Each structure stands twice: as structure tokens, then as C-alpha cells.
Amino acid sequence: MSRFDDIKEHMQVIDAEGAPVGKVDAIEGDRIKLTRDSSSAGTGSHEGHHHFIPRGLVAEVEGDTVRLSARADALESIFETEEDGSPS
């Protein structure tokens, strides 16, 4: 069941196929902020920056895991960075 309010710091974030995407650093508004060290996982750009995942991509929250509705290779075009708040 998807309960965005149940997402907590340090939870694992995985894509729709179960591949790791990163770890939750915080919730900021309607977005998940990934930790800097995990933000480059599955993405080739913007290493060392926080990435943000929109609330709408959360498919399920179960235990200590947040499952997204998209695959990791599709996330790169959706990620937002802290620098400009726009997709990277």
C-alpha cells in the first residue's frame, strides 16, 4: 500500500523491478529527497547532488522499502536536482 506519509529517513528506494535507486534523506513537500551518496546510483549525471523523486512515482511503501512505479533507466529524465528544482 502506498502511504507517502509513512516514508522515513534512510529507507531504501527501489525501482519497479526491484533495482536499488538510493536511500531517503528526507521528505520535502511532495518529493522524496535522496541522500547525496545514493543520488548517483542508476544515474550518470549530477553526481554529488541531491536528487528528488516526485510523490506520484511512489507505488508502494512496505517495511523499510519504497517501491517506485518506474524503472531506474526512466528515472534519469524525471529526477530533479537541488540546484534548480528542474529535471536533470
CATH of the domain at 44: 2.30.30.240
Q: In the β-sheet with 51-54, what is the strand arrangement from edge to edge?
A: 58-62, 65-68, 12-14, 20-28, 31-34, 51-54, 80-81
> Over the stretch 38-86, which tens digit does the pLDDT of each residue have?
754 544 455 667 889 999 999 999 999 999 999 988 887 777 666 545 5
Look at residue 55 and tell me if it is in a domain.
yes
- The helix or strand, by DSSP H or E, that contains position 6, with its residue range, turns out to be none
Look at residue 86 and tell me if it is in a domain.
no
The model's pTM: 0.79
CA atoms of 75 and 53, how far apart (whole Å): 8
> 3: Cβ–Cβ under 8 A, 6 or more apart, which residues?
61
Look at residue 76 and tell me if it is in a domain.
yes
| Structural domain for 59, as ranges | 4-81
Closest of 24, 54, 31, 51 to residue 39, by C-alpha: 51
Q: How many domains does the chain have?
A: 1
